[in-house]
Amino acid sequence: MRVTGTIDLLPSQMRLYNKICETFFAICKLYGYEEVATPILEDIRVFDRNLGLETDVVSKEMFFLEKKQDETLVLRPENTAGVMRLCQEGGLFQKLPQRLAYYGPMFRYERPQKGRYRQFHQFGVECIGVASYMADVENIQMAVHFMQEIGLAELTELEIHTLGSESERDAYKQALHDYLLPYKNELSENSVRRFDKNILRVLDSKNVHDQKILETAPVMRNFLQMESAKYFDNILESLENFGISYTVNPFLVRGLDYYNQTVFEIKTPALGAQSAVLGGGRYDGLAQQFGEKTPTPSIGWAAGMERLFLLAQEHQTLSVPPRKNIVIIAMTEAFDQEAQKYASLLRKEGIACLTVHEGTLRKRMKIASRLEAKYTIIFAPKEMENKTAILRDMMRSEERILPLADLIITVKKHYDT
Ligand code: AMP
C-alpha cells in the first residue's frame, strides 16, 4: 500500500510531469540560473532556528530520521536553507552574485488532502547577492514567465506584500498585538496559538470570524520607513511597466521566519483549499545564519510540482508531444532476428523503435496504437520473400510496400513530418 500523503505517477502522467520540469529548466537557462543539488537528508540545525522554531514546518511537520549523539537527521522540508548551506560549504558566498536553481522532493508531515502531500516536489530559484529591487522584479517576472509557459497564467494570480525591515516588522507586530489583545478570547484556537508564538501568522487565518476581526487591524504599510516604502513602490511600478498584474495582499505572510521586505505568492482558485502554487520573497539575513559576516541580499521562490501538475492535467494547459515510436511486427518467428536488426538500425539513427512478437496481427496492431506508433513495419511472409515489408502510417491509416533496402531511409525522411 502506498504511504499516506504520497502519490504514484503513471507513464502518461510522468510525461506531463517531465514537460513541466523541462519548462522550468528552460526558464532557468533564459534567466541565467544554474542548477544545484543538495541531499534530501540534512542535519536538523540547517532548518530549526533558520526557518523559525515556532513555524509549523519546524514545530510540527519535520520528518526525523535518526539520532546519533549530537546529530539529528531530518528529511528536508524545503531547500532555501539547504542552498545557503551549500553556498557556505562550496565557497559560493565568495563569488557573488549567484543565481541558483534546484528541483527535488521535500517532506512535511501535514494532513494530506488534494494538493497537499507528505512527499512533494519543489522547483526553486535563489538569486543571492543582489540588493537592487530589480532582483525582486526579475525574480517575480521569472515566476510569472514559468506560469505562462506551462499554460497556467490564466488560472493563477500574483499576490505581493512587504514585511519591511526587522525593526519595522517589530513595530508592526507590537501594533498588531495591541490591536488583537482585546479580541484574544474571540479568536480561533489556532490564531490564539499563533498570537502567542508568531503573531504575524494570525493574518493568515482561514477562520471567518478571525478575518472579520482583522478587517480593521493595522497594516504593515503604515509602519514602513521611507527606504522600505520606496523599495516596495519601485517593485510595484516595475511590475506594472512589465505588464505583470498583481494584487497587494496586506495579509500575505509566509510560513517561514527568514523573510524580510518583499514576499509574494502565486495562487489559484482552481485547487480548493491549497491555493498557493508558488511562494517566495527576500531573505537578506539568512546567509548570516550560515556564517556570513554581513547580510547577503537574496531573493527566491519555490513552486510545488504536484499542484502545477494537477492544474495542468485538469485544465489540459500543456500539450505533451506523442511518443512517435516505430513498431516492428515480425509475423513469424523466422523474422524475429530481422526485426531486431532493423530496430537497432533505426535506433542508431536516433529513432525510437520497439518490436512486438506475440499475438494475432490485430492484437499486435492494437499494441502498436497504444505505443503511439507513428509507423508500424510489418515483416510478413509474402513480402519478405520479395525482400520487402509493409510500412503502415498509423495516423493516416495508409499502407505501402517498400523494399527492405529503402526502409530506414524512408522512415528517417518522414519521421519528423
Ligand atoms: P512554501 O515552502 O511553504 O512556501 O511552499 C512553496 C510551494 O510548495 C507552495 O506554494 C506549494 O505549491 C508547494 N507546497 C508546500 N507544501 C506542500 C505540500 N505539503 N504538498 C504539496 N505542495 C506543497
- Give the tens place of pLDDT for each residue, 70-90: 788 999 999 999 999 999 999
Q: Residue written as cell 519548462?
A: 23
Nearest protein CA to atom 14 of ligand 1, as residue: 304
pLDDT single digits (tens) 277-311 = 999 999 999 999 998 988 999 999 999 999 999 99
Q: Which residues pair with 260 in a beta bridge?
A: 282
All domains of the chain in start order, with CATH: 11-165+225-315 (3.30.930.10), 174-217 (no CATH), 325-415 (3.40.50.800)
Is the minimum distance from the CB of 79 to ligand 1 under 6 angstroms? no
Ligand 1 site, residue 51, Cβ cutoff 6 A: no
pLDDT class of 274 with cuts at 50, 70, 90? confident
- Inform me whether the pLDDT recorded for 66 exceeds 80: no
Q: Which atom of ligand 1 is nearest to the CA of 78?
A: 2
Closest CA to 99 of 318, 298, 395: 298
> For ligand 1, is residue 278 a contact (CB within 6 Å)?
yes
The pLDDT score that the predictor gives to residue 68 is 67
pLDDT at residue 256 in the model: 83
Name the pLDDT band for 322 (thresholds 50, 70, 90).
Answer: confident
Residue of 56, 62, 120, 163 to test ligand 1 pocket, by largest number of atoms within 8 Å of CB: 120
Tell me the C-alpha to C-alpha distance, in Å, between residue 329 and each of 224, 255, 293, 356, 361: 72, 57, 68, 5, 8
Residue closest to 342 by CA, chosen among 386, 375, 385, 382: 375
395 C-alpha to ligand 1 centroid (Å):
41
Own/partner long-range contacts of 218-222 (Cβ < 8 Å, ≥24 apart): 218/172, 218/175, 218/176, 218/179, 219/250, 220/161, 220/162, 220/163, 220/164, 220/168, 220/169, 220/172, 220/250, 221/162, 221/250
Q: Whose CA is nearest to atom 1 of ligand 1?
A: 279
307 Cβ inside 6 Å of ligand 1: yes
CA-closest candidate to residue 120, choices 5, 269, 33: 5
pLDDT grade for 383, boundaries at 50, 70 and 90: very high
Q: Which residue is closest in CA terms to ligand 1's atom 18?
A: 116
> What's the full length of the chain, in residues?
417
The pTM (predicted TM-score) of the whole model is: 0.93
In this structure, of 65-69, 326-330, 340-344, the range with the lowest mean pLDDT score is 65-69
pLDDT at 189: 94
Average pLDDT of the chain to the nearest whole number? 95
Closest Cα to atom 23 of ligand 1: 304
Query: Which strand ranges, in their side-by-side order, compose the sheet holding 63-68?
Result: 41-43, 71-75, 63-68
- Which atom of ligand 1 is the closest one to the Cα of 265? 10
Is residue 106 over pLDDT 70? Answer: yes
* Contacts with 385 (C-beta within 8 Å, 6 or more apart), sequence order: none
- pLDDT tens-digit profile of 13-38? 999 999 999 999 999 999 999 999 99
The span from the CA of 170 to the CA of 166, in Å, is 6
- Give the separation between CA 58 and CA 287, rounded to whole angstroms: 19
